[in-house]
Amino acid sequence: MPIPQTNDMPSLFPLEHPLVSCHLTTLRDKTTSSSDFRATVHRLSMLLAFAATRDLLMTDRSIETPIQPMVGKMLLNRIGVVPILRAGIAMVDAMLDMIPTAEIWHLGLYRDEETAKPVRYYDKLPPGEPVEIAFVLDPMLATGGSAILACEVLQEWGVKRIKMLSIISAPEGIERLQRQLPEIEIHTCAIDECLNDRKFIVPGLGDAGDRIFNTTGR
């Protein structure tokens, strides 16, 4: 379950659970295969989704069980799942397992290796009414640049409530996102020590995209 919020970090929700700790160990291990890495990202994403959706609004729905009529519940709001390409794709299926009715919108961002700043190269947001709640997905919240750009694009679209879901986060990325967009909720499985001089999370897990898609050349 999420650690209770503190007054100085009201939008930060780290996820503490024995299963999270065990799956994180598998994810960090450099000997974990690409297929096992993807499966572990899926499991951790489901746990994050469970925690991050606990406050969603519901409405009544009348149904009939095999025994008698009853009033059940269903989600009230339109929900969007927004993976930041490419690594965020690995978290999508877990979100759809939990919320089959969610809409999927893609944002293509990459980090310039020289400046470490995000570059936007693709988005597929529709011109019509925005979703009411958006879950931005990226396994790593490092510098915070991509997360901020993604959230700003969604706000320009008109999304009123945004939640950032990252498996591993750096303090620098959290601080930057909270400073620039304090209204964004951050849900994460782990807050690591820091960023190194290459802007990689320490101890981290390496490059999530390379490990997900097995593009390390090994």
Domains in the chain, start-ordered, CATH in brackets? 12-60+69-213 (3.40.50.2020)
- pLDDT band at residue 196 under the 50/70/90 scheme: very high
Percent of the chain whose pLDDT exceeds 70: 90
- Average pLDDT (75-86) is 92
- Asked if 17 contacts 1 with a C-beta cutoff of 8 angstroms, the reply is yes
- Average pLDDT (128-149) is 93
More confident position, 82 or 120 = 82
Who contacts 118 (Cβ-Cβ below 8 Å, separation ≥6)? 109, 110, 111, 112, 145, 146, 148, 149
Write down the pTM of the prediction. 0.88
Percent of the chain whose pLDDT exceeds 90: 76
Q: Can you give the C-alpha Rg of the chain in angstroms?
A: 18
Q: What is the pLDDT of residue 107?
A: 79
Q: Kindly report the CA angle at 131 between 142 and 111, in degrees rounded to 5?
A: 25
Q: What is the pLDDT of residue 108?
A: 76
Q: What is the pLDDT of residue 190?
A: 97
Q: What is the pLDDT of residue 4?
A: 39
Return the active site residues: 111, 115, 207, 210
